[in-house]
Structure 1
Amino acid sequence: MKTYSGPASDHFDGVRFFDPDGVAPRSLRDVLRWQFSGSRQRATWPLWVPSPHADVPPARVNGDTVRLSFVGHASWLIQTAGVNILVDPVWSMRVSPVAFAGPRRRNDPGIAFEALPNIDIVLVSHGHYDHLDLPTLSRLAATFAPRVITPLGNDITMRTGDPAIRAEAFDWHDRVELGNGLHVTLVATRHWSARGLFDRNRALWASFVLETPAGKIYIVCDSGYGEGAHFRRVAEAHGPIRLALLPIGAYEPRWFMRDQHMNPEDAVRALQDCGAEAALAHHHGTFQLTDEAIDAPVMALGEALDQAKIPRARFLALKPGQVFEI
């Protein structure tokens, strides 16, 4: 199995990546304890929960407007300055190493693949199957041949799966020109990565700061909260932030998930820490990865905003197919 090889750094020991401010991912023993605990309380999701929305995006969005369409889970289409960008695109029915088992979609993507405009750029945050979906990336490569910007090591996964995927790998703090005045910077986030049992943290993970004509968008695809240091550092290094995309789901049980996934209360703290003017929620309602109910994250988000005395309109939870513009 080919994996990343490069010089050691403050977050790479020469073999594996690590978060200097994070913790190691949970052990297999902890996974088994969670999965087979007699006290486990796993909510039952409906088999299918269709969104009432379906977006047909324009071919391009020019000028200083930014149009964001929620595809579902952590997938977004961002259109601005004549450039079309997909984030962690997943059009597959399952997010799993195999097509016949694993977490299954509970609603259609908010944009039908055939309705996508020409895609120029794809941002892939890390190697977990609900974010790096090889069948979708291969389909995008065959249809649009976009540039794929991803953290170190994930390019190997992509090119091994399909040499036609135009993957470009970067480290934390690298700033990448996307064209038409757009840039994206990879920033540290509290998470980890793996595709199987033997490649844990052999590829890097990241969040993104996208510079647009309407301001900077902080794209957090997966993250724990910890003490909030990652979010405050982004505010210090990249602020002001116009909009943050923040995950709110896949958080129960907390003893197992708190170091890798934020719950809604954490996400509200992350919004306060990064100082974004507004936020959009994601990573909920499409794939059941953990134990909470399908509607629990959105309900808890409203409660957390009320508790923090933040207007609910500042942090919205869209349904697949809904659109937000700045």
Structure 2
Amino acid sequence: MHSALIRRFAALAAALLLSACATTPPSPPAQPAKAAKVEVQWLGQAAVKITSPGGKVIVIDPWLTSNPKTPPEFKKLEALGKVDLILVSHAHFDHMADAPALSALNKAPVYAPAGLADSMVTLGVMPADMAPRFNKGGEVLPFGANGGIRIIATHAEHSSEYRWKNPDTGKDEMRLGGEPLGFIVELENGFRIYHMGDTGIFGDMKLIGELYKPDLILIPIGNHFVMPPQVAAMATRDMLKPKHAIPIHYGTNPLLRGTPKEYIDALGNAPTQVLALEPGGKASF
């Protein structure tokens, strides 16, 4: 009798299992999570908009409203959408002209060379809480310790005079602009971008390449005020060795005569992928 009960319970369990299988469809296979992308948009000269994997928007060297190479739709600062952070590499007009207005529009801080930040605050161009001081070698966490983004200021071989129009006299005056910078921008997924600012070549580019291993460089190639394409190619190939490069700071006026083709030709068989964007063009990584 004991064995008969066992058989009856076994049959009942099997029936319940078959019923459950008949009425409950199997779960679909798990889909792999879609990897968040880094988006970089070049807006002419050295102006770049970066959208991080976490959705933070960083604008570097915003000269848009009077930039002849900026697409018309971006000459209104509102067209950029929400901006969370602004970086300015140095005090020249073609790199910081729209930074104060863009900051005011978005309540976004402007990280700039310390001397430039001081001048803008002292002259009433920007409020102190929107112009934090910053300097070479320093690392900042603009969205907090858990924000996943860090910014590091590097050397740049250039100058940084700040031309300010005195509202009382209507005349231009030259003020302290700090020393020029480049920026290492490390995003939430570890992707590193080196915006080189305006610069000539310098030996410590090799150290920057070894220390930060940038995935992408935004490199000036225009000549006259910055590196010519051939020298930029040498810095890319022999010093920085990035996976990707986007040429910037060329073609805005006749003096900036370097071209992406000259840069690509000078790189030869270097493994760096060059993305020669048109102003307004985007690349995703």
Matches of 1:174 and 1:144, distance apart in 2 = 25
Match of 2:56 in 1: 83
CA RMSD between the two structures = 2.4
Q: Secondary structure at the match of 2:185?
A: strand
Aligned pairs (5 A) from 1:75-224: 75-80=47-52, 81-93=54-66, 105-108=68-71, 111=74, 112-133=76-97, 136-159=98-121, 160-164=123-127, 166-179=130-143, 180-196=147-163, 199=174, 203-212=178-187, 213-224=189-200
Residues 33-82 of structure 1: CA deviation (Å, up to 9, x unaligned): xxxxxxxxxxxxxxxxxxxxxxxxxxxxx964211111111001101122
Match of 2:282 in 1: 323
Aligned pairs (5 A) from 1:1-326: 64-80=36-52, 81-93=54-66, 105-108=68-71, 111=74, 112-133=76-97, 136-159=98-121, 160-164=123-127, 166-179=130-143, 180-196=147-163, 199=174, 203-212=178-187, 213-225=189-201, 228-238=202-212, 240-249=213-222, 251-252=223-224, 257=225, 261-272=226-237, 273-285=239-251, 287-288=252-253, 290=255, 292=257, 296-305=258-267, 308-310=268-270, 314-326=273-285
Residues 184-225 of structure 1: CA deviation (Å, up to 9, x unaligned): 000112112112498587511110111111421111111001
TM-score (ref. length: structure 1): 0.66
> Looking at CA atoms only, which structure, 1 or 2, has the larger radius of gyration?
2
- Report if aligned partners of 2:45, 2:69 keep a CA contact under 8 Å in 1: no
- Report if aligned partners of 2:116, 2:176 keep a CA contact under 8 Å in 1: no
Q: How far does residue 93 in structure 1 lie from its aligned partner after superposition?
A: 1.4
Q: Which structure 1 residue ranges, 4+ long, deviate > 4 Å from structure 2?
A: 196-202
Matches of 2:245 and 2:115, distance apart in 1 = 29
Counterpart AA for 1:246: I
Identity of aligned residues (%): 26
Matches of 2:100 and 2:150, distance apart in 1 = 24
Q: How far does residue 152 in structure 1 lie from its aligned partner after superposition?
A: 1.4
Cα gap change, 1:182 to 1:144, in 2 (>3 Å): same
Cα gap change, 1:107 to 1:199, in 2 (>3 Å): closer
Q: Secondary structure at the match of 1:321?
A: coil
Q: Secondary structure at the match of 1:149?
A: strand
Residues 206-252 of structure 1: CA deviation (Å, up to 9, x unaligned): 10111111421111111001xx41210102322x2211110111x14
Alignment size in residue pairs: 235
Matches of 2:105 and 2:209, distance apart in 1 = 37
Higher relative contact order (CA 8 A, sep 6+): 1
Matches of 2:91 and 2:72, distance apart in 1 = 20
Cα gap change, 1:109 to 1:87, in 2 (>3 Å): farther
